[in-house]
Structure 1
Amino acid sequence: MSPAAASGPPGRDRAGGTATAPALPASVRRGYGLGSVATGAFGTVPGLLLLPYLTDRLGIAAGVAGLVVFLPKAWDAVLNPVAGRISDRSTNPAGRRRPFLLTAGLALAVAFVLLFAGPTAPAALAGTWVVVTFLACATAYAFFQVPYVAMPAEMTADYDERTRLMTWRVAVLALAILVSGGLSPVIRDALGPTWGYRGVGLFVGVLIAVGAAGAWWGTRHAPARRTATAGGSLRDQLRVVAAAPDFRVLLGAFVLQALATGAMLAGVDYVARVLLASPAAATVLFVCFVGPALLVTPLWQRLGEARGKRTGFVAGSVLLGVGALATLLAVRAGTAATAVTVAVVGIGYAACQMFPLAMLPDVAAADTDRTGEDRAGTYTGVWTAAETLGLALGPFLFAGVLALGGYVSSTDAAVAQPDSARTAIALGFTLVPAVLVAASLLVLRRYRLDQEVPR
């Protein structure tokens, strides 16, 4: 058992009482949650539409398109720990983390507008434009997301207050996914092949800018516990973080689920167009995926407070995996049946976002309590790097399944797909994510940090 586990979770004594940390003002919770408008929009729309843009608008082969989506995200995975270390060492009078929200967030918004504004031919030039601008997006996102995720460990020392803070964040995240993921295909289809994706770029860029500026402004009165910045090189700090057993377990489970989620996001548009024969079904599936999360997130919060965050994470993971597996049968029955099973996935996804993000500050704070040094940025840098890599590998994995199934890439959206490609779409959207979620549950069995929360 790690020292952190032996002493119980941060903010809670052995009898289960809450530490005497003051509750955060509601305005700070809401303000922090606004950052999820930026993270939700950027995390959703490229995963949903960038692969179809490459294969069915630019005519790039599925395997190559998967690489185009993956490589900038792989760079982001390398950069995130560096961004965490830089924010750890920040001495800005406006706060260690907050200034990054505004500067990096606005840079991300501009880069995203440019992502879909480039040439569409020849394919080599168009693909290069996407790689370069997506690389710029990934760089800006690293310097927004890492400080943003690091903030809760410094805003409150209370175990349950972090869960409440994540409840707001996940609720806003669900709304951001609903708006960005639900409306982007509608905007694309309404504006037509020439201006559709460019309209999506502008729409999402505005959402990112609003979310980043809102989080920066809304957290201006947030408390910030400042402890000594951890010494040593970045390599030294990464070695310390890698040695934390509960962090490794939590990260491993979360990355496997990010991979599963990335594959499902990449498959939504293909399922709607090819299997359900209705491009509009993409919006329906997104509403069914995110809508339930807006309703059940407070219920997940109650479960976490009563039974512990790990228990809530496990329960949500089971629903996520079962829902994905059931969708394999539902796609054969049509849009209505698929919408029901996707709603089950959405209920589980809400928990699988909220609980790990509420558990991460516990791990970072336990390290600070044990060592007296602040490594929150390093922890979150590694976390977001791994999450980004998982979300990038998801579309890459789905593209690989498409390639194995013989998917036909073409600028003609009406091109007929062979039965093998249809099977590949179905398996990549359902069975593959379900297997990954099952693997994450096996990993999660070894998490021990909140084992002393009263049951």
Structure 2
Amino acid sequence: MSKISTKVPLKTTLAYGIPGVGAGYMYLLMTLYVMKFSTDVLLIAPAVMGVIFSISRIWDAVSDPIAGYLSDRTTFKFGRRKTWMLLSFIPISLGFLAVFSPPESLQDASLEIWMMFAILGFYSAITLFNVPHMALGAELTDDYHERTRLFGVRHIGFTFGSILSLVSMSLLISEETDPNGDIRNLAGNLAFLAVAIMSLMIFFSVSRLKENPEFQNRVNKNPFKAFRDVWVNPHAKILILVLFIENLGGAVIGVLTLYVTQYIIGTPALAPLMILAYMLPSALSVPFWIPLSRRFGKINLWVFSMVFTGISFGATFFLPFIDSVTARVVIMFVGAFLAGIAAGCGGAIGPSIKGDVIDYDEYLTGERKEGSYFAALNFVYKSATGIMLLVTGFVLQFSGFIPNQPQTMEVKIALISLYGLVPLLFYSLGAYLLYKKFTFGEKEHAAIKQHIKDNN
């Protein structure tokens, strides 16, 4: 077995988690606000934006595996992961700025084409950072529970960045409602500040982290074989199916939160606070989930968190039928808080289990291809997201949705069905499959680690 540290030093853990702040900020702003920014500010049709987001996910089917395989195959002395993380800051900056600063001279088809390439560019660029970064996390330790702590810190950083994006989103929403506001100028300025800070975080992280040189050049030269190995791995196969189903349920939550708060609850100004009610417990609960995973097992806790998430969002289905605004607000806040607690579990334990499955691949093949695995798993997430964003765009378009106007009950039911019932269905199904079919726990992981050690 490769000689890697079981206990990760605190300074390494923090250096690994810090770029998650910038990534979390960008991801949440892209997830929660770009659809609304495009339909309500740029006045692009929801169906068009649904198609654009779906195309971006289809492109990820190409870019994610390429990024993962190239990262695995890189042999630079600086590091196979850190090299790509460092290079990513330039296209990330250009893509994020392009999304939030489209030229005001562009209209109609030209604006739609600009947004399509801007969104494609950003997601391609963030892949160059995210896949190597996640892969590096799986390499920093081979300990079954230490990985949970490492990815838990990354999740806290990612969530903290998401919370910061809520401040920006609050400013943007206030600017939208101000008759004298200049929403496009504010969006551009915030984007410029974000890319500057993200770049500094990447520089700091790559200057502090050290990679294990023994892991370099331990992957088959044939990229198709590398990804075939992912599918041949029986535990990865189950995990891929579970993640696909789970993300079919979770994809619509982010993009529809602003629509639900404005058009169903009737309190758009509270949207950032409602999202904060989800984000805070998501980050603060991580230190509690880590010791619980040691006691009850990572798989059992992840199953519980998925069921809990589905129920929390499923309860929001009744919102359009409640007359009291106060009651609707309370239900939304409580649901967000409970779902946030569950998210803290999934954010820490999910990537940790992915790392365990990669160790099983080393047991089968003798190779270390974390990049290929996280690329494949990210592709599953993005594919599910693309499917649901396409569905969401067309549901909004054909249910009669009209931007910035009171919506009919038919539109409200369509919105809340996507927001409440879809997560309830898919999170429950994913939890069932994980509980029944995924059998690679702590005992099994310890056995393959010992086998690898005995044969090296």
Give TM-score, length-normalised by structure 1: 0.89
Look up the SS of the partner of 1:158 in the other structure.
coil
CA contact (8 A) 2:53 2:390 kept: yes
Structure 2 match to 1:216:
206
- Which of 223-232 and 347-356 deviates more? 223-232
Alignment of 1:353-392 (within 5 A): 353-392=347-386
Structure 1 match to 2:122:
137
* Unpaired segments ≥5 residues, structure 2: 176-180, 446-456
Asked whether 1:167 is paired with 2:152, we answer yes
Work out the CA distance in 2 between the residues paired with 1:427 and 1:206: 39
Structure 2 match to 1:15:
none
* 1:57 CA displacement: 1.7
Structure 2 match to 1:434:
424
* 1:347 CA displacement: 1.1
Structure 1 match to 2:248:
259
Work out the CA distance in 1 between the residues paired with 2:214 and 2:439: 25
Q: Which runs of 4+ in 1 moved over 6 A?
A: none
Amino acid of the structure 1 residue aligned with 2:142: A
CA contact (8 A) 1:401 1:424 kept: yes
Amino acid of the structure 2 residue aligned with 1:326: A
Structure 2 match to 1:280:
269
Look up the SS of the partner of 2:162 in the other structure.
helix
CA contact (8 A) 2:160 2:283 kept: yes
Work out the CA distance in 1 between the residues paired with 2:189 and 2:265: 25
Describe the shift of the 1:204–1:189 C-alpha distance in structure 2 as closer, same or farther (beyond 3 A).
Answer: farther
Asked whether 1:244 is paired with 2:233, we answer yes
Describe the shift of the 1:436–1:28 C-alpha distance in structure 2 as closer, same or farther (beyond 3 A).
Answer: same
Amino acid of the structure 2 residue aligned with 1:294: A
Alignment of 1:34-113 (within 5 A): 34-113=18-97
Describe the shift of the 1:106–1:28 C-alpha distance in structure 2 as closer, same or farther (beyond 3 A).
Answer: farther
Structure 2 match to 1:393:
387
* 1:35 CA displacement: 2.5
Of 336, 341, 348, 1:347 maps to 341
Look up the SS of the partner of 1:374 in the other structure.
coil
CA contact (8 A) 1:228 1:372 kept: no
Residues 427-453 of structure 1: per-residue CA shift (max 9 Å, x gap): 221111211211211321211111637
Structure 2 match to 1:407:
401
Describe the shift of the 1:212–1:124 C-alpha distance in structure 2 as closer, same or farther (beyond 3 A).
Answer: same
Describe the shift of the 1:205–1:256 C-alpha distance in structure 2 as closer, same or farther (beyond 3 A).
Answer: farther
* 1:403 CA displacement: 2.6
Of 274, 281, 292, 1:292 maps to 281
Structure 1 match to 2:171:
186
CA contact (8 A) 1:74 1:392 kept: yes
Structure 1 match to 2:178:
none
* 1:128 CA displacement: 0.7
Work out the CA distance in 1 between the residues paired with 2:191 and 2:138: 33
* 1:288 CA displacement: 0.5
Describe the shift of the 1:248–1:404 C-alpha distance in structure 2 as closer, same or farther (beyond 3 A).
Answer: farther
Asked whether 1:117 is paired with 2:101, we answer yes
Amino acid of the structure 1 residue aligned with 2:134: V
* 1:150 CA displacement: 0.8
Work out the CA distance in 2 between the residues paired with 1:282 and 1:163: 31
Work out the CA distance in 2 between the residues paired with 1:348 and 1:94: 38
CA contact (8 A) 2:32 2:255 kept: yes
What is the total number of aligned residue pairs between the two structures? 433
Residues 230-280 of structure 1: per-residue CA shift (max 9 Å, x gap): 224111111111111211211222232233222000111101211122221
CA contact (8 A) 1:155 1:225 kept: no
CA RMSD of aligned residues (A): 2.3
CA contact (8 A) 2:277 2:337 kept: yes
What is the percentage of aligned positions where both structures have the same residue? 22
Look up the SS of the partner of 2:372 in the other structure.
helix
Describe the shift of the 1:437–1:311 C-alpha distance in structure 2 as closer, same or farther (beyond 3 A).
Answer: same
Structure 2 match to 1:447:
438
Work out the CA distance in 1 between the residues paired with 2:386 and 2:30: 10
Residues 169-203 of structure 1: per-residue CA shift (max 9 Å, x gap): 11111111111134324235335434243244334
* Unpaired segments ≥5 residues, structure 1: 1-9, 12-18
More helix by share: 2
Amino acid of the structure 2 residue aligned with 1:149: M
* 1:31 CA displacement: 0.8
